[in-house]
Amino acid sequence: MPKKGENIYKRKDGRWEGRYIRTRTADGKAVYGSVYASTYREVKAKLISAVASNSPVQAEPAQSSQTDYSDQFGSMATQWLEDIRSQVKESTYNKYRNLLESYILPEIGELLLCGISQETIKSHCDGLLLRGGQGKTGLSAKTVSDVLSVIRSVLRFAVKAGKPISFDVQSIRIKQSTTEMRVLSRSEQERLCQYLSSDLNSANIGILVCLFTGIRIGEVCALQWEDISLSDQTIHVHQTMQRVQNKQEAEAAAKTRVIITTPKSACSIRTIPIPDLLAEYMIQHKTSATGYFLTNSCLQYMEPRVLQMRFKQALKKCSVESANYHSLRHTFATRCIELGFDVKSLSEILGHASVNITMNRYVHPSMDLKRENMRRLSELIAVK
């Protein structure tokens, strides 16, 4: 059955089709275009995006009083996406596009910019927190915060384009609770290291490098032997590997592809000293002077999701409670603080823009360290 008034239909092959006026002939006859998706929600988002990016449609004189699509939020969002495309990474662009298509355009894409209020945005975000997602059980505060960030960016872009926005786009906030990141205890780290060093295969050496240098999973996967100086015992980090959605290819192509690009930020391009024992392990692993570090091959690489899976298997084999791969980076930072590293050095090794990021996000003092620090107060209490 078609969705009344929306020109959206469920096809016999199970897909949903949305039709829109792509253009008009000289005599005013409509020429239609179509978009397809597996669900009504997806096709509606695609339809709104297609209408917005195709606007303004040449219309007959009698229809000149219809709404100007360029004044709709969906049209402005499409222009904003195109404007930032060359300024952000492909993965970031895909993330913004997905947020728009999934959680923003279906609800507010057709609204006129002049009719959007602070209450409109707040109500939309509250609805996502309570009823968002495929299961209608609500989205996480982090996801809704990302949605709000995109809406803010589109509205700021609209203001620069001279569109009337009647409220402060920064005034709405989503409260997020901080989740404590898992950090391996010293005993867990010892068990893991013993297991990894007993079999220095491609995955195990990669895990060890991340655990003792703090580099990210994408960075170690993109690392090549040309970036490593075993004589100077340094690693030069300047690339990262990630799997991104294949949005630009035809429908028959793979849905995702692996790319190698610059790291997260300019600060992430860095040179890191290698600890002595880790350098020895890397020498044992080396069988080629060129190619990817993990695989010793110029043609084959190990991508992040494979290394993540191997890490999970390693934890299970050495009886360590499950953890996300990124916990290796947190564990590295925490051990460094426990050993007395100065925070500025640690911050540069991790590739952070400031020491505040290092301290607030990556340093998790253990209870043993807290006890040791508190014991030092005993000297002040003792009466001589």
What was the pLDDT predicted at 59? Answer: 38
What was the pLDDT predicted at 322? Answer: 93
Q: What are the residues whose beta carbons fall under 8 Å from the beta carbon of 19, sequence distance 6 or more? A: 7, 8, 9, 32, 33, 34
Q: Identify the CA nearest to 109 among candidates 36, 169, 33, 51.
A: 51
Separation between Cα atoms, residue 123 and residue 1, nearest integer Å? 30
The CATH architecture that domain 8-160 belongs to is Orthogonal Bundle (1.10)
A 10 A CB-CB count for 149 gives 13
Torsion, Cα of 180, 181, 184, 185 (10° steps)? -20
Residue-level length of the chain: 384
Q: Identify the CA nearest to 192 among candidates 310, 319, 305.
A: 319
Whether 8-160 and 186-372 share one fold: the answer is no
A 10 A CB-CB count for 214 gives 22
Q: In the predicted model, what is the mean pLDDT of residues 319-325?
A: 94
What was the pLDDT predicted at 64? Answer: 39
Separation between Cα atoms, residue 189 and residue 323, nearest integer Å? 12
How do residues 47-95 score in pLDDT, each as one tens digit? 777 776 664 433 333 333 444 556 889 999 999 999 999 899 888 999 9
Q: Name the one residue in this structure whose structure tokens are 């005013």.
A: 28
Q: Is residue 202 predicted with pLDDT exceeding 60? A: yes
Q: Identify the CA nearest to 357 among candidates 369, 370, 368, 347.
A: 347
How do residues 270-319 score in pLDDT, each as one tens digit? 999 999 999 999 999 999 999 999 999 999 999 999 999 999 999 999 99
A 10 A CB-CB count for 296 gives 16
Q: Taking a C-beta distance cutoff of 8 angstroms, is the pair 332, 349 a contact?
A: no
What was the pLDDT predicted at 277? Answer: 95
Higher pLDDT, 96 or 6: 96
* CA distances in angstroms from 332 to 9, 52, 189, 207, listed in the order given: 54, 48, 10, 12
What is the residue type of 9? Y
Q: In the predicted model, what is the mean pLDDT of residues 2-15?
A: 65
Q: Is residue 166 predicted with pLDDT exceeding 80? A: no
What was the pLDDT predicted at 4? Answer: 44
In the structure encoding, which two tokens stand for residue 10, read together?
């469920």
How do residues 169-178 score in pLDDT, each as one tens digit? 777 788 877 6
Q: Mean pLDDT in the chain?
A: 85
Q: Is residue 328 predicted with pLDDT exceeding 80? A: yes
Q: Is residue 12 predicted with pLDDT exceeding 80? A: no
How do residues 108-155 score in pLDDT, each as one tens digit? 988 888 888 888 899 999 999 998 888 888 999 999 999 999 999 999
What was the pLDDT predicted at 265? Answer: 84
Domain definitions of the chain by residue range: 8-160, 186-372
What was the pLDDT predicted at 383? Answer: 58
Provide CATH code, domain 186-372. 1.10.443.10
Higher pLDDT, 358 or 21: 358
What was the pLDDT predicted at 370? Answer: 76
